[in-house]
Amino acid sequence: MPELPEVETVMRGLRARLEGRVIVRAATHRAGMRWAFPPGLAARLTGARVESFRRRAKYILMRLDGGASVLIHLGMSGRMNIGPRHPNAIPAHEHLTLETDDGWRVGFVDPRRFGSIDLVPTEAEDAHRLLAGLGPEPLDGGFTAASLSASLAGKRTPIKAALLDQRVVAGLGNIYVCEALFRARLSPRRSAHTVAGARAARLVPEIKATLTEAIAAGGSSLRDYVRPDGELGYFQHAWKVYGREAQPCERCPGAPACPGIARIVQSARSTFFCARTQR
């Protein structure tokens, strides 16, 4: 599910519900997901006050009083169940449940269990092994055409694969890479090092715009993904290429030579693009 816009949406939902609250009960329902939960996770959460939230790449950081932060990754299928506290059974695939002092309940649901949870000292969040190697935040001012060109220099891998590499830029995933490349009219197969100069200057603003618009839409909703407030994100309706194989591309309507949006496989992931206008 979650790329940067979805993680940002989930983080904001958690912030609205949890910031300033005290966790009166916490329970894990299995030993871990991608990795084992840190020892004493539930005990550390119980009685803690939630001070603030932050997102880094596709990670959510929840700061607790006492100097610890909870580091959360939603993996491929992770989401948050948020609702009034109730005595019912634990929902399927809910691996962590929190209850607040004002009567709300937050459950981390992740059927595929590619997600993860860890604890990290708040003052050393960015030194955590999962955050230490991450590239720049795409929406930060420090992410520019010049910085992107520099990190792509010498890379022979396709630009599609390079943009999925979280060391190059942190937070993009399969959907938003496809969308940004379409908007920038760049072929996903183009060798990464050739995205410099004018091409990089075209791509970077489109990455930023795509993400900004997606955040404003509350992210993209696939399958059962819902925002923490229970609403559906609606950016999936704005996709130009993702999931639109063989459909006409909006850029070349009726062009007889246009075969429609193509789907190819790159590093074992689907890529969607318009072969006529993306060069």
Partner DNA sequence: CAAGAATCCTGTCAGC
Partner DNA sequence: TGCTGACAGGATTCTT
Residue numbers of the site for DNA (CB under 7 A)?
A: 1-3, 6, 34, 57-58, 73, 75-77, 92-93, 111-114, 130, 133, 155-158, 161, 164, 166, 173-175, 192, 219-225, 267-270
Considering the complex, what minimum distance in angstroms separates the CB of residue 218 from DNA?
Answer: 11
Q: Which is nearer to DNA, 23 or 182 (CB)?
A: 182
Annotation says 51 is catalytic: no
Which residue among 15, 17, 21, 58 is the active-site one? Answer: 58
Q: Which is nearer to DNA, 257 or 265 (CB)?
A: 265
Which residue among 2, 5, 136, 188 is the active-site one? Answer: 2
Q: Which is nearer to DNA, 17 or 93 (CB)?
A: 93
Considering the complex, what minimum distance in angstroms separates the CB of residue 59 from DNA?
Answer: 7
Cα–Cα distance between 90 and 111 in angstroms, integer? 13
Which residue among 44, 49, 269, 276 is the active-site one? Answer: 269
Q: Which is nearer to DNA, 104 or 114 (CB)?
A: 114
Annotation says 263 is catalytic: no
Say how far residue 264 (Cα) sits from the centre of its chain.
Answer: 23
Annotation says 38 is catalytic: no
Annotation says 167 is catalytic: no
- For the annotated catalytic residues, the residue numbers are 2-3, 58, 269
